[in-house]
Amino acid sequence: MIDGATLIDARGTAADSAARPAAPVTVDAPATVDGSATVATVADLSTLRAAIEPAVDSLGYELLHLEFSAHGGGRVLRLYIDAPGGIRVDDCEAVSRRLNALPDTLDALRVAEHLEVSSPGLDRPLVKPAHFQRFTGRRARIVMRGPGAAGRRRFSGELLAAGDERVLLEVDGERIELAYRDMATARVEPVF
């Protein structure tokens, strides 16, 4: 059965500082780019989210997710935004202009050389319990921070249910519960 306390933001606590090279740094993942040099901590990303989110909200968009990644020798801060009617290039431009025009936000953005604003895409990130609930019945790819159910780290299957602390996934006919706090990443898996 799916149960538990309501999560306020992203799915849990910081993992240990050993990260894979060039992997994105998200609010809920290790805060390194090369395994040794810290780009931002989870607390920094939470502070950054708090600085950015009101500006994004004021334009009528939801800030789904933010992440750092190493890209071409520079640090990239990538924001994923969404709206009920979907996201177009004009929407991404509007958010980028708004963030670049706000002094407080500019200070917060100095941690990256590049800002990218993007739609979530077909393989949209699932970050909050509400995201998992919205996509119940769809396929998802989930990567755990460490070995999860049956000693596996990677799962791909149908989202059967999503609660406040965990999700129920059907993988190859087997029902598996996975805790949000143990997830490194989760995305909708497009079916073509």
Domain segments of the chain as ranges:
25-118, 129-188
pLDDT of residue 105: 61
Closest CA to 167 of 154, 181, 153: 181
Give the Cβ contact number of residue 18 at 10 Å: 9
Rounded to an integer, what distance in angstroms lies between the CA atom of residue 162 and that of residue 83? 22
**CATH classification code of 25-118:** 3.30.300.70
- Helices 89-101 and 42-58, axial angle in degrees (round to 10): 110
pLDDT band of 108, cuts 50, 70, 90: low
Mean pLDDT score, 15-34 = 33
Question: Are the C-beta atoms of residues 31 and 17 closer than 8 Å to each other?
Answer: yes
Q: What class does CATH assign to 129-188?
A: mainly beta
State the Cα–Cα distance between residues 101 and 176, nearest whole angstrom. Answer: 46
Tokens 């990303």 sit on residue: 45
Alpha carbons 35 and 23: distance in angstroms, whole number = 10
pTM for this predicted structure: 0.66
Which residues lie across from 139 on neighbouring strands? 158
How buried is 84 (Cβ within 10 angstroms: 0-12 exposed, 13-18 middle, 19+ buried)? exposed
Report pLDDT for 169: 95
30, 21 Cβ separation under 8 angstroms: no
Q: Which of 13-22, 57-66, 80-89, 132-141 has the lowest mean pLDDT?
A: 13-22
Residue 158's H or E segment, with its range, is strand 154-162
pLDDT tens readout for residues 135-189: 999 999 999 998 866 788 999 999 999 999 999 999 999 999 999 999 999 999 9
